Structure 1
Amino acid sequence: MCLGPYNKNPVAEQRNASYRSSMNPVEIEEAVTGLAEEPFDRAEFPFQFLAAFGNKKTTISRLRKGNTNQSDIAGGVLQRSNIHIATCDSGTVGQTLTALRDSPKTGTNKAKFILATDGEEFQAEDLISGETVACDFADFPNHFGFFLPLAGITTVQQIRESSFDIRATSRLNRLYVTLLQDNPEWASPERRTDMNHFMARLIFCFFAEDTDIFHAGYQFTETVERMSSGAHEITHEVIGELFRAMNTKHADRTAQGIKTWAGGFPYVNGNLFGGDHALKKRSGSAEMEVPRFSKIARSYLIHIGNLDWTKINPDIFGSMIQAVADDEERGALGMHYTSVPNILKVLNPLLLDDLRSHLEEAGDNARKLLNLRNRMAKIRVFDPACGSGNFLVIAYKEMREIEAEINQRRGEPDRKTEMPLTNFRGIEYRSFPAEVARLALIIAEYQCDVLYRGQKEALAEFLPLDSENWITSGNALRLDWLSICPPTGTGVKVRGDDLFETPLDQSEIDFENAGGETYLCGNPPYLGSLNRNTEQQEDMDRVFGSISKNYKDLDYVAAWFLKAAQFGLATKADAAFVATKSICQGEQVEMLWGPLFKMGFSIKFAHRPFHWANLASNKAGVTCVIVGISNDGPETALLYDEGALLECRNIGPYLIPMSNVIVRKSSQAIHSLSKMDYGNKPTDGGNLILRKDEKDRLIAECPDAAKFVRGYMGSQEFIRSTARYCIWVEDDCLEEADHIPELHRRFNAVRKLRSASVGSQANANASTPHRFVFAPHRSGIAIIIPRVSSERRPYLPVGFVDDSTIVSDGAAVIYEAEVPLFSILASRMHQQWVATVCSRMRMDYRYSNTLGWNTFPLPKLTEQNKTDLTRCAENILLAREAHFPATIADLYDPEAMPEDLRRAHEENDEVLERIYIGRRFRNDTERLEKLFELYTKMTGKKAAA
């Protein structure tokens, strides 16, 4: 994404295009900045402002014409449920904002924001929170995060306070894209790493000059601007000389011929400005090459350098810089931020809560405080999928805050930290994010030193940077984690391939950490089995191959859990990762948690499924869990669910308070109820299946074919009441059917397809092309159970069909079904069991007869029980019938479910639940506890303590 040079007007350009309904924060910031830079147009400003936040061109047009503008203020524009804007005469902004607040139209149209400006002053208010903005007009882009809800972006406070990071990222992105356009050879795979290295150096320089790391009078941006004034074509030479100076000790600068105008810059070292080995091989030079700058690229550089880089937030900035350097991610700039609250959901129960608890317990006891500080100095935090370092940076900053409080209580406020950055280790697959992770940690260390010790002390010890490489670039699933974060009391040699690499004879890190603790954390890649490439599948084979034969369908993230457990067997270490909820559902539970439990690990804490969203206005994200594991057997396990905390003796693999019992699929039901099959499977290439128009045409042309046509129903046909049909021919009617030309043609097509198939089932049925390859269909009434249905529905959508309908393999089916079975299948008890033990397809339930039905725990039913359940089933069916022709999708919409149908289900739940415990269950957790208890008894499984 690049909106072009700064002398172009992005807002004006967007005004001539079709507006999108959503924009990401970086795009919004660019548009807002462009609006602030162009001449103020009092009449146009409200429409320009709304356009900058992603309103479509048609929306703006209707407001401009007055069709949807509800404002009662002169010069005002009011967008319902959004914002009331007014431009005004000079010096009247305050009065105008008051008028907007008091306007009856503001209230009746439910405006969330009010905004007033005269082109010199800018004021706004969030009417929901009461927060306000008051600034010069030119400065209002600095507050663009305040207005992100206008674009449908729900923000947390940390995001709204990180406007600088988003602005800096958008400008770095423009520079990055322009440099690649001006230096196409740098865009090649061979040179892209060089480009990324160069950007890391720039980021450091921008930060260093605004935080006094560079001495007064030697400012990077000012020097580049002055030395290349009127000669943009030598910009690369100026930057190259500055980089050379920063990599040369002061005593050697005369001999190295460093220019006098660069000689005052400090020696940075740390290989940040040293030579790249690949470049040495190409050019024989030990100097880092710099791309050439066009006039536009130079102007971008100067503009970026003039931002206030003291505001950089390494918590978020690393992720955004990573996106700048990634072609696939650049189109989603601003969507890669992992919020601090979400990261703390991992770090707090993993280690920070314990540290804070000991700090509180220590009070002002100097000895206890010292012991805690000594303990913290030996704690290692290891993220084996660290990306640009978010988790490590947050862990470091939170621990520095605790350490600073210790020092304050001990009367040593200026004491140097005893927690080395090398205690915060990581592995990242790509080299550039690995470099950014180390850079983010360096910046975080400096900022913490300034905050807790003062700028003088921070500056005195910041440079030169050390050369230790503690963020490793490589495939975490193929690296030996114990060689990167070794058992306590041992040393390690790390050889990196990134910007911060060091010669082998300098790479040994003194890592004597006897008695220390190690905590593994992070947010590894998820990737279901169908989305992995060859390398990733080989990774799974390497990790699980010697442990289990049953792992192929596991999500990729599961490999990090197993590697963490193997790591924890060698040295004391707890681990917690963000993961897909799939690893705690369905068949994946047995694949992952079976081996982990056998290795002696248990779940120390967990967050039940929640939405791990990003910054995108379309709320793109995934439903995740957080699971912390330990082989230390905590006395109390902590279970978090929608903000609530439950302390329990044990958290089971389904993330509920229960034993470590695992539900395994079974070909035989553990209860005595009717058998459930999958529906009828055609494997026909579409030749035995008919749309309604095809069915009508067939019967019109061949009336004799009507007797061979039946309804055909799967999940969607049942839920949406859509019509499909199939050709169904019994063996004793084949000769008659085969004489119908259209059926004969279709049978031949099926025979040809099955004969050519590599599937054994299809091959075996090639000689009977008139029949489905799997056909359990029987006459009589049957219950249909969709195999895929939305989790939003409060109950599973089940129903009855007669024998004129063939149930497809898109659904499960019980033939010759007794009515009480409908009551059981339609209950909250069964829905919760399926939601827990069956797999998911995205956010939908994926019903399994072997996992959902055959394993369902149910007390033995008396005849009276069956009578009561029959009555409940009939009431549900009558309530459905009363709302004909509403579809199942209509009836079970959670926001529109008819009240009589809801009451019928409530009565059904009460009757069934009384069979279990003599009363209604209090909540779903209690339902599941009883179901797993009963499952354990019915299967004879021994519950883990």
Structure 2
Amino acid sequence: MRAGASNKSDLGGVLQTSNIHILTCDAGRVTQTLAALKASPATAKAKAKFILATDGADFEAEDLTSGETVACAFKDFPDHFGFFLPLAGISTVRQISENAFDIRATSRLNRLYVELLKDNPEWGTAERRHDMNNLMARLIFCFFAEDTDIFVGKGRFTETVAQMSAKDSSNTHEVITTLFRAMNTKREDRAATKIPRWAEDFPYVNGQLFSGGDEVPRFSKIARSYLLHVGGLDWTKINPDIFGSMIQAVAEDEERGELGMHYTSVPNILKVLNPLFLDDLRSKLEEAGDNPRMLLNLRKRIAKIRVFDPACGSGNFLVIAYKEMRAIEAEINRRRGEPDLASEIPLTNFRGIELRDFPAEIARLALVIAEYQCDVLYRGQKLALAEFLPLRNENWIVSGNSLRLDWLKLCPPTGTGVKVQSDDLFGTPLNQAEIDFANEGGETYICGNPQFKGARKQSKSQKQDMALVFEQGNDFKDCDYVTAWYLKAAEYVKNTDAAFAFVSTSSVCEGEQVAHLWSRLYGYGLHIQFAHQGFKWRNNAANNAVVQCVIIGVGAAKPTRCALYQGETKREVDSISPYLISGAERYVRAEDVPLSRDLHPMVMGSMARDDGNLILTVDEAARLIECQPAAEQLLRGLLGSQELIHVRNRKCLWIEDDHLKFATEIPEVLKRIEAVRAFRSSSSAKTTRGYAAIPHKFAQRAHRDSLAIIVAATSSEEREYIPADLLGPTNIITNAAYAIYGASVWELAIVASRLHMAWIATVCGKLETRLRYSSTLGWHSFPLPTLTEKNKADLTCCAEGILLAREHHFPATIADLYDPESMPADLRAAHERNDEVLERIYIGRRFKNDTERLEKLLDLYTKMTASVAPAKGKRRKAGANA
């Protein structure tokens, strides 16, 4: 290949167009050779995807598309074949949007981290984890500093390590230790501490970044190569908006395999910060124009604003807030003719709490980097460098359990700040004076993206956190973990002039937890000031996590107009309901009986609690009848949600007391009855043991011999309508479904409507992603106008039309018929007729969308519950808000 006409190499190697540039080299020069391949004009001209260098003992390569690198002993080259799969046309590279540098840098740091732990396993233990994290933070700072002139000479740190450490890596750790020691020693003290001349040019950094232990783990040849690879990147491109979170993943075992899963993009962060306070600052800037006095007042206001993220992770929200505020301040200074003026916005105004110490350290480092970048951008490199070092010692990002700390002490509304004992990078000595600065009249804005964790997925300690924050009752057991942050923030706002906005999963606006959360927030006198309705929360990472989220902004002041966002559309409304639609500040409560007098009550079906002995498959029932034909009178059809949707036929023994003697004369039936007795008698539950006295019966019996509507308790969110059907009196509905006994046919038209589906999806919420039904919260609370006999007759025709359309496609199941991709045209038409008839009863026309449906339903619910409100001093058993 080297001699062939297709070889385009300008270095005496092999260059295949659009593929790879390979070069062998003298012993010990692999890293330099790889750098030469990357710098080669021929590499760029031929659009090579990979470069590869080897001396026969060591091996290094880089994927020029993704920036991924590999370094290993030459004999281990085959272990990395997957790295080169794109050369065979097998693409393994994900599309990376926005800033690819952060992904690339994190990937290389990850390789270095893993390689160091391979040779220094003790550094991966819990006792040394902190030291390992400190090492990574120090290296990050050095890489950034050497490319931004903080260290004199571009690439100075990496070049010094390359030059002063042996190629066999035997003293690499000693060279790095010496550099770290130099950066922790003031220049006037260096002679006494015997800092060598080759380290003299490195500045004194302080800020506790290089204080404490200076031990560095040993480097293998491969680890040394990875260190040089990382240093070879252009660190001027670092994006502190998300970089901190990505570095966090390098140091977290559970996250390292999913680099980039949780790092929020700038546009998504601004969905929180803009309506919370940034939009107001920009409008005041617009209003000020070039008026010097108004501009000065605005600058003073900005200098006193504190941004507090009580679940700050690696500081994404704080960094974005800082950069956006610096941009506004810079424009003020430009208009006032003071472009070189030092910023009056202190980093200590950007406060946070983070459970783990390493992300907290990285958050401070990210803010320090952001401050320097802003100074360079708005004041120039010279002034920025003059004021950057030494770093300050303040500790304004706290490591601890946010739900167990007093936020008012960590971010007081005025005056003094934080005094925290810590041993982290920016370590707070025990005798540190409090961070103290005038903040009288300042504003505080709480923001962030707290951990979601559904009610059923919380650890024991997280449940304890929830119980502590909720203080009393058992409501917390049904609430997402994020709701605890809402309550902590509400307590803070109650005592200060503050506002807050959090990202949450959309489940906080659905189901029972709406009442659990908002009964408390409304009790504090708080209001929703703005909200983003459900949207897919994406991030900047290679593994682009997607979660359905909402954003809710809350404060003590009720705006004259509230901002409600749906996608890129903004609506101004009088008020926002806790279901995040335009409407009254009112939540739906469970009702013991239907609000509408026209509706029959709904109950949960019958529960056997029989260890399966009273329930038979179709085959078992057939064999029983074959042996004892008279037993047929003891059998009934049995349906729960699964049987309703998928027609899995089952039967059950339904034995009334006057048939018990007959039943026990049938050996198979008697055997089953005795098995039920034994099961119930041995139960640890007292109530179950009590049912042993009636082993021939279901433990809990809701059945009535009447026409009944069966409603699925859970259903796929993909279906456009709630699964329901009309049953005769001989069928038993299990506790896995709901039943309306004595139902009118027209009530099926209500259950099977788009209107009711919208109500249930919002008010009852979901079980994981599936729709979850509730009789008391969904059916009994459903607001239905008073119906005329004509309305009922029309709805009866609609329900019959739906049933006839289904019958036309027998034996297709509910699952078959209501597949959104293949729903039969006549069944869809029957539902459309039903929806039109019902919706005209409400507003005289079809609703435009589900938002309009919900707004009307909640408005009607508010009126109906207000009309049946309890007398003063009393409370309804179940009904309107307390």
Shorter-chain TM-score tier: 0.7 to 0.9
**The one of 213, 216, 230 aligned to 2:150:** 213
AA of the residue aligned to 1:425: R
Quick check: 1:192 aligned with 2:129? yes
Q: Which residue of the other structure, out of 680, 700, 717, is the alignment partner of 2:643?
A: 717
2:172–2:219 CA contact under 8 A, matched in 1:
yes
- 3-state SS, counterpart of residue 445 of structure 2: strand
User: Within 5 A, what are the aligned runs for 1:696-707?
Assistant: 706-707=632-633
- Whether 1:660 aligns to 2:585 is yes
Q: Cα 1:874–1:292, aligned 2, differ >3 Å: closer, same or farther?
A: same
Give the aligned partner of residue 526 of structure 1: 452
User: Corresponding residue for 1:235?
Assistant: 172
**Is 2:190 the partner of 1:253?**
yes
Of 311-320 and 387-396, the range deviating more from structure 2: 311-320
TM-score (norm 1): 0.81
Q: Is the 8 A contact 2:416 2:434 kept in 1?
A: no
Pick closer, same or farther for the CA change 1:152–1:922 going to 2, 3 Å: farther
Q: Conserved in 2, the CA contact under 8 Å of 1:431 and 1:497?
A: no
Tell whether the 8 Å contact from 1:578 to 1:627 is kept in structure 2 after alignment: yes
> How many residues are treated as equivalent by the alignment?
806
Q: Deviations over 1:407-430 (max 9, x none)?
A: 222222222211111111100001
Q: Deviations over 1:811-843 (max 9, x none)?
A: 111123211001111112211221221131122
Letter in 2 for 1:932: L
Change (3 A) 1:118 1:352: closer
Paired with 1:184 and 1:802, the residues of 2 have a C-alpha distance of 69
292-301 or 607-616, larger mean C-alpha shift: 607-616
Amino acid at match of 1:852: G
The two structures, once aligned, show a CA RMSD in angstroms of: 2.8
Task: Select the residue among 324, 332, 336 that pairs with 1:410.
Answer: 336
The 2-side partners of 1:866 and 1:185 are apart by 76
Match of 1:864 among 787, 790, 808: 790
1:931 aligns with 2:850: no
Which structure 1 segments of 5+ residues have no match? 1-37, 46-90, 94-116, 124-136, 276-286
Match of 1:261, SS state, is helix
- Give the conservation status (yes or no) of the 8 Å contact 1:246–1:268: yes
The amino acid across from 2:570 in the alignment is L
Q: Does 1:904 align with 2:841?
A: no
Name the structure 2 match of 1:60: none
- How far apart are the structure 2 equivalents of 1:756 and 1:151? 60
Aligned to 2:325: 399
| Residue in 2 that maps onto 1:180 | 117
Could you tell me which of 638, 654, 660 is aligned with 1:734?
A: 660
Per the alignment, residue 29 of structure 2 pairs with none
Is the contact between residue 638 and residue 647 of structure 1 (CA under 8 Å) also seen in structure 2? yes
Task: Pick one of 188, 206, 217 that aligns with 1:291.
Answer: 217
2:106/2:250 contact within 8 Å kept: yes
Cα separation, partners in 2 of 1:367 and 1:616, compared to 1, 3 Å: closer
Distance 2:687 2:652 in 1: 20
Q: Find the aligned partners of 1:591 and 1:190 in 2 and give their Cα distance.
A: 41
1:561 equivalenced with 2:486 (yes/no)? yes
The answer on whether the counterparts of 2:98 and 2:540 sit within 8 Å (CA) in structure 1 is no
- Secondary structure in 1 matching 2:308: strand
- Indicate conservation of the 8 Å contact 2:260/2:540, yes or no: yes
Q: 1:595: which partner in 2?
A: 520
- Once the 2 structures are TM-superposed, how far is the Cα of residue 703 of structure 1 from its aligned partner? 6.2
Name the CA distance, whole Å, in 2 between partners of 1:695 and 1:231.
Answer: 79
Aligned to 1:577: 502
Query: How far apart are residue 669 of structure 1 and its match?
Result: 1.4
Q: What is the rounded CA distance, in whole Å, between the counterparts of 1:729 and 1:383 in structure 2?
A: 62
| Cα 1:195/1:670, change in 2 over 3 Å | same
- What SS does the corresponding residue of 2:280 show, helix, strand or coil? helix
Cα shift at 1:581: 2.0
What is the aligned partner in structure 1 of residue 78 from structure 2? Answer: none
Q: Does 1:423 align with 2:349?
A: yes
Kindly report which structure 2 residues correspond to 1:364-379, keeping only aligned pairs within 5 A, or say none.
364-379=290-305
Out of 853, 862, 880, which is 2:806 matched to? 880
* Cα deviation, residue 269, structure 1: 0.4
Q: Which is worse superposed, 632-641 or 732-741? A: 732-741
Whole-angstrom CA distance in 2 between matches of 1:467 and 1:616: 32
Q: Deviations over 1:211-268 (max 9, x none)?
A: 1111128811111111112341221111111111101100111111212211211000
Q: Tell me which of 362, 370, 377 is aligned to 1:436.
A: 362
Change (3 A) 1:621 1:497: farther
1:701 and 1:348, CA in 2 relative to 1: closer, same or farther beyond 3 A? farther
| Cα distance in structure 1, aligned partners of 2:178 and 2:443 | 44
Q: 1:153 to 1:298 in 2, by over 3 A?
A: closer
Cα separation, partners in 2 of 1:739 and 1:328, compared to 1, 3 Å: farther
CA distance in 2, matches of 1:119, 1:711: 76
Report the counterpart of residue 284 of structure 1 in structure 2. none
> What is the identity percentage for the equivalent residue pairs of Structure 1 and Structure 2?
61
Specify every segment of 5 or more residues in structure 2 that has no aligned partner in the other structure, as ranges: 1-12, 21-40, 50-61, 70-85, 870-879
Deviation at 1:693? 5.5
Decide whether the 8 Å contact of 1:712 with 1:807 is kept in 2: yes
Partner SS state of residue 422, structure 1:
helix
1:920 matches 2:846: yes
Shift of 1:611: 2.2
Distance in 1 between the 2:63 and 2:547 partners? Answer: 38
Quickly say closer, same or farther: Cα 1:364–1:906, change in 2 above 3 A: same
- Aligned match for 1:161, one of 88, 94, 98: 98
Secondary structure, in 3 states, of the residue corresponding to 1:629? Answer: strand
Q: 2:716 aligns with which of 790, 805, 814?
A: 790
> Cα distance 1:614–1:43, how it changes in 2: closer, same or farther (>3 A)?
closer
Mapped partners of 1:657, 1:927: distance in 2: 11
Alignment of 1:739-778 (within 5 A): 739-778=665-704
Q: CA–CA distance in 2 between the matches of 1:143 and 1:315?
A: 22
1:392 shift after superposition: 0.8
> Aligned partners of 1:207, 1:236: CA distance in 2, in Å?
20
C-alpha contact 2:66 2:93 (8 A) present in aligned 1: no
The alignment partner of 1:498 has SS state of: coil
Residues 258 and 543 in structure 2, CA contact (< 8 A), matched pair in contact too: no
Match of 1:141 among 62, 66, 79: 66
Cα deviation, residue 702, structure 1 = 6.7
**Structure 1 counterpart SS, 2:195:** coil
The answer to whether the 8 Å contact 2:710/2:724 transfers is: yes
Letter of the structure 2 residue corresponding to residue 666 of structure 1: E
1:469 aligns with 2:402: no
CA distance in 2, matches of 1:686, 1:622: 39
SS of equivalent residue, structure 1 residue 799? strand
User: Normalising to structure 2: TM-score of the pair?
Assistant: 0.86
Q: 1:140 to 1:617 in 2, by over 3 A?
A: closer
Give the distance between the partners of 2:293 and 2:513, measured in 1 at CA: 48
d(CA) in 2 for partners of 1:695, 1:189:
61
Partner of 1:361: 287
1:13 match: none
SS at match of 1:901: helix
- 1:610 touches 1:642 (CA, 8 Å); kept in 2? yes
- C-alpha contact (below 8 Å) 1:603/1:628 kept by paired residues: yes
Structure-2 residue corresponding to 1:30: none
Tell me the distance in 1 between the aligned counterparts of 2:171 and 2:657. 86
CA–CA distance in 1 between the matches of 2:107 and 2:205?
27
- What letter corresponds to residue 179 of structure 1 in structure 2? L
1:837 matched to which residue of 2?
Answer: 763
Conservation of the 8 A alpha-carbon contact between 1:122 and 1:140: no
Amino acid at match of 1:403: E
Distance 1:502 1:750 in 2: 66
> Is the CA contact (8 Å cut-off) linking 1:489 and 1:515 kept in structure 2?
no
Structure 2 counterpart of 1:640, from 562, 565, 573: 565
| Aligned equivalent of 1:223 | 160
1:869 Cα offset (Å): 0.7
Distance in 1 (CA, whole Å) between partners of 2:234 and 2:144 is 9
